[in-house]
Structure 1
Amino acid sequence: MRLSGLQKNVLALYRQCLRECRKKPEASRENFRVFARNEFEKNIKIDKRDFGAIEFLLRKGRRQLDMYASPGVKDIR
């Protein structure tokens, strides 16, 4: 199965989120992983042809990742 460019971008963002989780304190890593997973699962039903919505969510996800990747953020709930 071949993936579209947007699908590759979504998977890349998810992998980046999981990589950032590994940089957090061990006690809160699971919270970050669960948060990332839930954010992606909330939008799993979006039509893959709804490019505008997907691009918006990718931008939103990247902004959230930048914010939560900050070294000052130790936990998320």
Structure 2
Amino acid sequence: MRLSGLQKEVLALYRHCLRESRKKPEATRAHFEKFARAEFARSLNLDKRDFGAIEYLLRKGKRQLDAYSSPGIKDVR
């Protein structure tokens, strides 16, 4: 199965989120992973052809990742 460019971007963002969670304290790492999974799962039923919504969610996700990957953030709830 070949993935579209947008699908590849979504998967890359997901992987990047999980990689960033490994940089967090071990006690709170699971919270970051659970948060990332929940955010992506919330949009699972989105129509693949709704490019505007997907691009918006990608931008939003990248902004959230930038915010949560700062060293000052130790936990997410």
TM class by smaller structure:
over 0.9
Give the letter for the 2:62 counterpart.
R
Tell me what 2:18 maps to. 18
Q: CA deviation at 1:33?
A: 0.1
TM-score of the two chains, using structure 2 as the length reference: 0.99
For 2:71, give the aligned amino acid.
Answer: P
Aligned partner of 1:72 in structure 2 is: 72
Please report how far the alpha carbon of residue 71 of structure 1 lies from its aligned counterpart in structure 2 after TM superposition: 0.2
Alignment of 1:1-77 (within 5 A): 1-77=1-77
- Kindly report the root-mean-square deviation, in angstroms, between the aligned alpha carbons of the 2 structures: 0.2
Which secondary structure does the structure 2 equivalent of 1:40 belong to?
Answer: helix
User: Alpha-carbon deviation of 1:59?
Assistant: 0.0
Cα distance in structure 2, aligned partners of 1:63 and 1:44: 20
The gaps in structure 1 that reach 5 residues or longer are none
TM-fit CA distance, 1:3: 0.2
Q: Could you tell me the percent identity over the aligned residues?
A: 73
Ranges in structure 2 where 5+ consecutive residues have no aligned partner: none
AA matched with 2:39: E
The AA in structure 2 aligned to 1:10 is: V
* Displaced runs of 4 or more, over 4 A: none
Count of residues paired in the alignment: 77
Q: Distance in 1 between matches of 2:22 and 2:71?
A: 12
Q: Under a length normalisation based on structure 1, what TM-score does the superposition of the two structures give? A: 0.99
